[in-house]
Structure 1
Amino acid sequence: MKKLHTHELPDFDASKYLDSEDAIAEYITAIIEENDPSLLAAALGDIARSKGMSEISKSSGITREALYKALRPKAQPRFETISRVCEALGVRLIAKPLHSKDQQPQRT
């Protein structure tokens, strides 16, 4: 059997699977849980390109050039940029508690 090397694998393109606001929201949530701002910027860039950078630019009020710069891998976009892009994509960032009362151990 021939060994398969990771560099021989095709690049994974998540955009093929991001066909609804629910799918986009789940993807962004998973990315946020990785706690890597540059990964979030890159993921939003992938989603924006799949939807059409011109459309996202128009909806968010951010120029295409600024979007490309802010949403490239290793970028550190401002929260305002992230928020406006998410709104243009039809999703909202929300916070939830790390530990809900239902999940905490009971005291005896």
Structure 2
Amino acid sequence: MALQTTRWDAAENLKTAEHVAAFLEAVFEDGDPQLVRAALGDVARSEGLGEIARKAGVSRAELAAALTDEGDPRLSTFIGVMKALGLKIVAEAA
């Protein structure tokens, strides 16, 4: 019997602020900028891309473009998205 799989989408499983924070914390620990960009895209989609863009002070199209596989969000976009999600950025010694 062949193994059957289903598509898993992180955006569909980020139900609470705690889930979002834990997800992003794990991604930030990895430190891969492309993974961070992808995770921000997942989180923004889970919350509603248009709503996050509005709260972050960017257009929906600008945010969507920044979070594509080819995108490279500016620092101001990253900070805006984090604030829009109700998250703060914390630095700690490695």
Indicate which of 11, 15, 22 corresponds to 1:19: 15
Q: Deviations over 1:16-63 (max 9, x none)?
A: 332222211111010111111111111111111121111111111110
Normalised to the residue count of structure 2, the TM-score between the two structures is: 0.87
For 1:80 and 1:11, locate their aligned partners in 2 and report how far apart those are by CA, in whole Å.
32
The equivalent residue for 1:58 is 54
Consecutive unaligned residues in structure 2, runs of 5 or more: none
More helix as a share of residues: 2
Q: How does 1:22-37 map to 2 (within 5 A)?
A: 22-37=18-33
| 1:70 equivalenced with 2:66 (yes/no) | yes
Greater Rg over alpha carbons, structure:
1
* Identity level (%): 36
- Aligned partners of 2:36, 2:56: CA distance in 1, in Å? 17
The RMSD of aligned alpha carbons is 1.6
Alignment deviations for residues 43-97 of structure 1 (CA, whole Å, 9 cap, x no partner): 1111111211111111111100000011122422121111100110111121111
After TM superposition, the score normalised by the length of structure 1 is 0.77
Unaligned runs of 5+ in 1: 99-108
